[in-house]
Structure 1
Amino acid sequence: MSVSADTFEKMKPIKTNYGFDCVHKLSKIKEYISVIIYRPSDSSCGYLTKFEDLKEDTKTGEPCSVYHFPLHNLQRIDQELSLDQIHNTYLQNLLVKSHGLFIGSYRLNTSPNIFFTITYFHRFIMKFLESNRTRKVPSLVSRSFTERTGAIFPLLMYSYELIDIIDKTENKDASASRFPYRIRADAKLKISNQVTVTLPDVKTLDDCYRICHNSELFKCNTYSYCQYGDCRVSSLLTLGSYNESHVEQDKSCSIYTLNVVHDYAKVPQRKFKTQTSVAVDKSVDSCAESCHASPDCLSFQWCDYQCSFGTFYTDSSTEYDEECSIYLLPKNGQQNRIRCALH
């Protein structure tokens, strides 16, 4: 667009290197911005607060890149992340290494029966104070407040550290129980060529979980991991891991289940008009695991501990039932999931 000289006089300018740099820098400004103008001839960048101040001059105007923000949403650009930045940004910003969680209680001398519980997040590590020790409030609270109230502060510290992001939640109702869920301690799965295989060079529990969850070779349901790096993945169901013939005793190891019920989308208060399998007594978690292990199961129906397998879900093939729910894999879920092949 060729912008008039009058427009440049009303523009509030800054210096930038290129067009996107112009937009990115201005997105940090809190003032309302309607129009951004970037002039390549001298790398001049500026903005207008009123759209009416933008004038075009096709004869003597200068060519510019013009950005209009009628929805007043320029600041959102500063909050956007490219896909390759998401993982590292979470690692750096959500739980920064060497943070500490401080929990304490205030007691006022003038009101001995009143307690205030306060939680602090700090960007530094202080020396651990034993739970039964009472200290004067440190610099977390102003000196005048301490002297005025005589507050005392039993201080506890719990350090935490984010190691990695092991998976994403596809179902917004999924809880933390979806991730590594231990079912047996002091044991590991026994090697079997048809059921359980061991994987070399697996350094963390998270990696072992990911390999099981994303396996293409077989339907992995359970896995074991040892502190010395032994990872074993298996098509064995959770119930099978309690059979001593399938496990070995080892105090450095634990056995886990994928808890695959969270991979399914729940359709509440629906049931299939025609049942395609015999219903059996199972919990919803066990029903999901059995469906996951079967190549012919595309969905499952669960009605008050009665589990049965289903096919493709459609509204016409189902009907209302207050006691039932149908669970199905999200559309294209298998194709869109990142997979790891077992070597």
Structure 2
Amino acid sequence: MSVATLDERVYEELQALEAIFAPDLTINREDGIPKTIKMNIVPYTGDNIDEQYVRLTLEIKLCPDYPEKSPQVTMKNPRGLDDRIISRIHRDIKGKLNANIGHLIVYELIEMVRECLTQSNLPQGQCVICLHGFKNGDIFTKTQCFHYFHNYCLGKHLISGKKYYEEELDKLPSWQRVEAKPYQQTCPVCRSTVQFKVDDLKTAPPPLESLDAQPFQLTDEIKEMQERMQALMAHQISRGGVIGVGDLEPPPLIITDPAEVEEPKSSSSGAQNVATPETSSGARDGANSASAATASVTRPPYCGPYRGFNRRGKPGRRGRGGAR
């Protein structure tokens, strides 16, 4: 695509798009020539941005012969849309492109996708906390990262997360508590930082599907699946594919707490072997023969509370280079 052969109508279309949709629309150019158009599309909700529950990114790659040849259109980062709706939008885009070869089509594509999102402005799929879907009448919320949860479920999740954090914090020694980061609410899906008032979330009613859900029953199908999983687990253990089950060797990684490390116990008799000139020569020969037997015995690494402590820096000790 060169400036000499580029259709002048393309430049006019892009200028109009930037004037209408900025800052949601970006145009990537190479040597001043437009190559790719990206647009974050959300439903029509007026000024109420909090009611925009779905979105996607439309990426349009302009070919050298556009508009005589259809551009390449890709949908990325859909939020709140299931595969059925995405497939329908994809079919509509393909039909629109085939019916408008030779015409400027970018604006119409954006408006068509926006209209589809407006009609489907209700999160599809399930709440990942309760595994129930979203129905009309449910009170749900949208995170800043465009993930959706029932208010009732998210409130319980945040309360449990803070409780778990405080329990783990209590297990740490005092010096680690000072350095520990404060509790931060995170999205259950992507772990992005979120900010919600838990007291407001707790007042929401539970999901409608949970009220009508049948109590759990252990069916024959579930029993059969459990038997298959048990057989698979036994096979993985027999082949060494599961760590920590039936292992006779030490685990590959041991994390010890300084408080759990016990000091080595001294001998109960308290007796010490003292070498004399008469026995030193014989003991030397015996030591040489015993060294081969004890060569494989190594002293375990120190895991006590002073591991890594610079003892030269302790009060009352002479530092390196200090006066004698």
Same fold (TM over 0.5): no
Higher strand share: 1
Q: Shorter-chain-normalised TM-score: which range?
A: under 0.3
Name which one, 1 or 2, has greater alpha-carbon Rg. 2
Higher helix share: 2
TM-score by length of 1: 0.20
